[in-house]
Amino acid sequence: MPKGHEKEVSKTPTSSVTESIKDTRDVSNVLLILDSIVIKTNPFGANISGENSYKRAERISAALHLVTNNVPEDEPLRATIRHKGLDLLSIILELRSGFHGAASEKGQAALAIIRELISLARLLAVSGFISAQNANAIAEAIDELGSLIIVSQRSTLAEQLTISRDQLIPPASQSIAFPKHERTAGIERVTAAKRTYQKDITQSSLQSSPISAQRSEMILGILKLRGMIGIRDISSNLPQYSEKMVQRELAGLVEGGKVRKIGSKRWSRYQLVQ
């Protein structure tokens, strides 16, 4: 065998492994960049599902740009998959007013782009531009985004308008005034009830915070839509929280009698108590 050919054969696999390692390092670095600062600008308002979908799409688009860096510039797949990643960001941004009503058509358009991106990622692997492992990881992440959008179309977490209970209670000046003798006769009962109410409020404040209550409401909303599901399915719809945090909230909901736990350990499933 000629010496030059022998050198070429021995170099090819080493070069491929080196590029794979470099790609992995680059992906890790760019994710650190995305997480290095907290973005305060939020065009989604109370639309939590929209914000979560956009964050996922941002990471996916960044990964698509990274893995196509080594693809030749004249290869159609390179430009197509990058443009589709940017299109996905734009169309999800248009869902900031909600996922329901007229916006549901844009949600379907986002799902179409997602399905196309999965195919394009696979084609990159088939063409030998990226590894099958990287292609599967990207395809899985894109598919999970599609599942999140589907769930959001039926979720109250995808609404931008929120109404609090306090907004529906009239000011104190508009409360009904009772005759003096009724107020005197009932003052002892009112005082006792007030003490009980204040005690309950104090205990409730110690047990939960507004942030924890918000997490619990999100989990209850997901269970209402999905029925009996596992911890990973719940966590996938709440990417802003760790799985351990979601697990703690679930434990509190189970203890409070709002959620039923079925099974144990990793086979556990959760459902709303009817």
CA distance 36 to 54: 17
Q: Which neighbouring-strand residues pair with 261?
A: 270
Compare 87 and 16 and report the one with higher pLDDT.
87
Q: pLDDT tens digits, residue range 100-143?
A: 655 578 888 999 999 999 999 999 999 999 999 999 999 999 99
Q: Return mean pLDDT, the chain.
A: 74
CA distance 84 to 89: 9
CA distance 72 to 194: 74
> Per-residue confidence at 169, pLDDT binned at 50, 70, 90?
low
**pLDDT score, position 128:** 95
Structure-token pair, residue 133: 């492992």
Query: What does pTM read for this prediction?
Result: 0.54
User: Considering the chain, what percentage of its residues have pLDDT values greater than 70?
Assistant: 65
CA distance 124 to 132: 9
CA distance 64 to 129: 12
Do the beta carbons of residue 65 and residue 128 sit within 8 Å?
A: no
**pLDDT score, position 103:** 56
Q: What is the separation of C-alpha 155 from the centre of its chain, rounded to a whole number of angstroms?
A: 12
**pLDDT score, position 192:** 52
> Per-residue confidence at 31, pLDDT binned at 50, 70, 90?
low
**pLDDT score, position 84:** 97
Compare 242 and 6 and report the one with higher pLDDT.
242
pLDDT at 163 over 50: no
Structure-token pair, residue 96: 């900031």
Q: pLDDT tens digits, residue range 219-253?
A: 888 888 778 888 888 877 776 677 788 888 898 99
Q: Please state the φ and ψ torsions of residue 179, each to the nearest 5 degrees.
A: -60, 155
**pLDDT score, position 259:** 92
Q: pLDDT tens digits, residue range 198-221?
A: 444 444 443 455 667 778 888 888
Do the beta carbons of residue 222 and residue 186 sit within 8 Å?
A: no
pLDDT at 89 over 70: yes
> Per-residue confidence at 33, pLDDT binned at 50, 70, 90?
confident
Q: How far is CA 19 from CA 56, 69, 135, 167, 171, in A?
A: 25, 11, 15, 58, 67
CA distance 227 to 5: 61
Q: pLDDT tens digits, residue range 145-161?
A: 998 888 777 655 545 44
Average pLDDT over residues 250-273: 87
Assign residue 197 a region (left: φ > 0; alpha: ψ between -120 and 50; beta: otherwise).
alpha
pLDDT at 44 over 60: yes
Compare 207 and 96 and report the one with higher pLDDT.
96
Compare 21 and 193 and report the one with higher pLDDT.
193
CA distance 271 to 205: 26
Identify the CA nearest to 79 among candidates 23, 120, 127: 120
pLDDT at 194 over 80: no
pLDDT at 183 over 90: no
**pLDDT score, position 83:** 97
CA distance 149 to 158: 9
Which residue ranges form the domains of the chain, and what is each CATH number? 23-158 (1.20.1440.60), 210-272 (1.10.10.10)
Helix (H) or strand (E) holding 261: strand 259-262
- For residues 116-130, one letter each, b for 16 or more C-beta atoms within 10 angstroms of the residue's C-beta and e for the rest, the string is bbbebbbbbbeeebb
Task: Name residue 240's amino acid.
Answer: Q
Average pLDDT over residues 87-106: 80
Average pLDDT over residues 60-87: 94
